[in-house]
Amino acid sequence: MSESGPRWEKVGLTEGEYGIICRQLGRQPNELELGLYGLMWSEHCSYKSSRKHLASLPTKGSQVLQGPGENAGAVRLAADEDTAVVFRIESHNHPSAVEPVQGAATGVGGILRDVFAMGARPIALFNSLRFGNPDCPRARYLFDGVVRGIASYGNCVGVPTVGGEIYFDEAYKDNPLVNVMCIGITTVESIVRGRASGVGNSVFVVGAATGRDGIHGASLLASREFDDGGEDMRPAVQVGDPFCEKLLIEACLQLLTDDAVVGINDLGAAGLTSAASETAARAGTGIEIDVARVPRREEGMTPYEVMLSESQERMLVIVEGDREQAIRDVFSRWELEAVRIGEVIEDTVLRVRDGEQVLAELPVDTLVDAAPAYCRPAEYRDRGSEEMPLVDEPEDLGAVLVSMLGHPNLCDRRSVYQQFDHMVGTNTVVSPGADAAVLRVKGSRRAVAATVDGNGMLCHLDPARGAENIVAEAYRNLSAVGARPLGLSNCLNFASPEKPEVMGSFIQVVEGMARACRKLDVPVTGGNVSFYNETGQRQVYPTPTVGMVGGLDDVRLSVEPGFSSRGDLVVLVGRSLGHLGGSQYLNIIHQEVSGPVAEVDFSLERAISEVVRAAAAEGLLSSSHDVSDGGIATALAECCCLSPGRLGASVVLAGTGRSDALLFGEEGGRIVVSLPPQRLPSLCRRARKFDCPVTVLGMVGGKSLVIHRQMGEGDDISPPAGSDSSQWRKHLQRAQMTAEKLMDLPLDKLMQVREDGLI
């Protein structure tokens, strides 16, 4: 913390905010009180630049059990049972930029605590990561450190990392984005809230002892832009202990089976200050804390340091006054400390004592609810209205596909996710590498599906449409594995909100996300806003990340992306329009980040998802894979590379316009499926019900991916429904004879290129 400048600047406040505090208190706050306000009024904790705009997001739904405002959101898995899915996504961007291993590791630890604080057992972790060019030494250092931090913490704590995404762009050179999602399972009746109810009830701090790590993490590290001296902020990065976290998970879940617990809350950002004031605010009570009782792992710590510390693996637990021994017994069994540090009081204040001496006394509502809500100046720039760039169409489109598959943004992520234990807990049914992960709910046939998706490049070009496309892709990813979407949590990553162009992008992203959620009937159950992701003159792209969960009624009917049976038909559900704006093709091959972003056809998105989910539920599909980054050519190549039988395919694409647009266009509204020929009539009947286009593209088989181009609109290559396999094959062969062959790529080559792309 700087020793120079006005006292309010030392805790990250403005002079105007300091004046508001003085008026609310009728006096000047002392140093400890000012530190508490610095935490609670920070951008990271108060959402003072964003909360007016976030109010437009839809948060209600028949399946929603807990919306924004608690440790995590919760949805009911199915209407006819009491399983609840608890989930949240959060950022740990600034700590990871300063110290990537511990920054990422403690991000995992924090999101785990958010979920088990709700009474849910964590069953899976996901991540969304963005870095600069991997050839840059600093970007490589950050990438390697973040991956190591996620692996070391998740593997040790025993929660599988089952999905995620990784992208590279110079916009993230100095500020990586590290977003982590956790999902957990409990029953509807077992959900616990973080509320300090019941005057006279005891307040316990449990878990690890308190140290000096993380002080001012929320108020300074996460709530301001960096400069070139970011390394001196290392003391504000927390240090994690996954083995302690594992014990804490088990102790808390055991404790929550006892009705002695009134409320529980994670000690994350803003530490003891946030946990105490927020639990009291939710309950309409107050809390008195004696800092002298807080266990410490370092000598000479001041009350200021104790209250502002963000040391990891700690929880605040509110216990009925006559049941204190119960909590001590549970935590003693798990060799963890459980210390009574205060009690719930009737006065709605946060009172901090050191023994008999009162050090701070602040109205809870001034800490939690009274931070100013800014309507910052916003400037809107419509980059997406630009014309498509004039680029030459490459002659060798097969070489283009090979180059794209080997690029870090599209290549196989196996070298990363193999560092994560994705099978611990034995719930994982669909593993990393698919459109969405699928995890069984033990004791039933049901399953949970989840995915994380983001696209900063699209939102840089057109924030509103970019956000709509992100929500639509997550929705499509869940549908591709056979799951019905239930809800989402968002993580909104932006540069400084004090810059009008950044604030304009933020507002447009929220508007686009709200519109998409309403159109697709997916409520938002919570999330996180991370501002000030910039260093010097370099800002990150506006990068909203969506973590979406869904449910399957029968885990045995989940569908994976790889072609699995020779002779299956390859079918496109949806339609291709050849939209290249904002595509990876333009970015990778032509070094262009430009063009209009595709408009989302929400009716089509709902239709293709309904068709694919219904077909999956009836066991019609052998495989299913959404079309997104890299277009349909990349999707087909991935279906081949992910084939358990190492199967290729031969397909014919019809359409007008440029071949590169047909192959690599990235408009949504498309899922590639494969199925036995005799099942096609059933798929077509479901498609007609939802007025959904269905086109037979080709057939699975061989050891190469062969793509033909039929010029013009062409004839319908789908013979009459009911034709047998041999008729299909002959018809497709005739179609290929009259079409131009664009590429014939051996599967072994495609797989090798994808595997070599990142490491």
Q: How far apart are CA 547 and CA 552, in angstroms?
A: 17
Where do the domains of the chain lie? Answer: 193-370, 391-411+559-759
Write out pLDDT tens, residues 214-258. 676 554 554 456 554 445 544 556 677 899 999 999 999 999 988
3 state DSSP class of 202: strand
Q: How far apart are CA 110 and CA 90, in angstroms?
A: 9
Question: What share of residues in the chain are helix, strand, coil (percent, to 5)?
Answer: 40, 25, 40
SS (H, E, C) 110-143: HHHHHHHCCCCEEEEEEEEEEECCCCCHHHHHHH
Instruction: List, edge to edge, every strand of the sheet that includes 286-290.
Output: 261-266, 314-319, 202-207, 337-345, 286-290, 349-354, 357-363
Q: Give me the mean pLDDT over the 417-440 stretch.
A: 82
Q: How far apart are CA 94 and CA 500, in angstroms?
A: 22
Q: List the beta bridge partners of residue 185.
A: 85, 121
Q: What is the pLDDT of residue 258?
A: 83
Q: How confident is the model at residue 209 (pLDDT cuts 50, 70, 90)?
A: very high
- Nearest Cα to Cα of residue 219 among 197, 236, 232: 236
Question: What pTM value is reported for the model?
Answer: 0.94
Instruction: Report the range of poorest mean pLDDT among 234-248, 363-377, 614-628.
Output: 234-248
Q: Which CATH class is domain 193-370?
A: alpha beta
Long-range contacts of 76-83 (CB under 8 A, 24+ apart): 76/188, 76/486, 77/441, 77/446, 77/448, 77/486, 77/551, 78/446, 78/551, 78/553, 81/444, 81/446, 82/187, 82/188, 82/189, 83/185, 83/186, 83/187, 83/188, 83/441, 83/444, 83/446
| Position with higher pLDDT, 618 vs 442 | 618
Q: How confident is the model at residue 18 (pLDDT cuts 50, 70, 90)?
A: very high
Q: How far apart are CA 723 and CA 726, in angstroms?
A: 8
Q: Report the percent of the chain where pLDDT is more than 70.
A: 93
Q: List the beta bridge partners of residue 625.
A: 672
pLDDT of 511 over the 50 cut: yes
Q: What is the pLDDT of residue 750?
A: 94
Q: How confident is the model at residue 758 (pLDDT cuts 50, 70, 90)?
A: confident
Write out pLDDT tens, residues 586-605. 999 999 998 899 999 999 99
Q: Report the percent of the chain where pLDDT is more than 90.
A: 78
Mean pLDDT of the chain: 91
Q: Give me the mean pLDDT over the 418-438 stretch.
A: 81
Residue 546 near residue 455, CB atoms below 8 Å: no
**Tokens at residue 527, please?**
């999330």
- Give the up-direction half-sphere exposure of residue 196: CA atoms within 13 A in the CB hemisphere: 34
Token pair 């540069």 in the structure block, residue = 495
Q: What is the pLDDT of residue 2?
A: 45
Residue 698 near residue 568, CB atoms below 8 Å: no
Domains 193-370 and 391-411+559-759 share a fold: yes
Give the single-character DSSP code of 231: G
3 state DSSP class of 281: helix
| C-alpha distance from residue 535 to each of 92, 171, 172, 226, 416 (Å) | 16, 10, 10, 5, 27
Fold of 391-411+559-759: Phosphoribosyl-aminoimidazole Synthetase; Chain A, domain 2 (3.90.650)
Instruction: Report the range of poorest mean pLDDT among 157-171, 216-230, 367-381.
Output: 216-230
Q: What is the pLDDT of residue 259?
A: 85
Write out pLDDT tens, residues 654-672. 888 899 999 999 999 999 9
Q: How many C-beta atoms surround the C-beta of residue 673 within 10 A?
A: 27
Q: What is the pLDDT of residue 234?
A: 46
pLDDT of 384 over the 60 cut: no
Q: How confident is the model at residue 756 (pLDDT cuts 50, 70, 90)?
A: confident
pLDDT of 174 over the 90 cut: no
Which residues are part of the catalytic machinery? Answer: 44, 92
pLDDT of 631 over the 60 cut: yes
pLDDT of 1 over the 50 cut: no
Write out pLDDT tens, residues 306-340. 999 999 999 999 999 888 998 999 999 999 999 99
Q: How far apart are CA 644 and CA 626, in angstroms?
A: 18
pLDDT of 89 over the 60 cut: yes
Write out pLDDT tens, residues 687-746. 999 999 999 999 999 999 999 998 655 445 555 555 566 676 777 777 777 788 999 999
* Burial status of residue 396 (CB atoms within 10 A of its CB: 0-12, 13-18, 19 or more): exposed
State the sign of the Cα–Cα–Cα–Cα dihedral 75, 76, 82, 83. Answer: negative
Q: What is the pLDDT of residue 321?
A: 84
Q: How far apart are CA 194 and CA 265, in angstroms?
A: 5
Q: Give me the mean pLDDT over the 470-485 stretch.
A: 98
Instruction: Report the range of poorest mean pLDDT among 50-64, 256-270, 588-602.
Output: 256-270
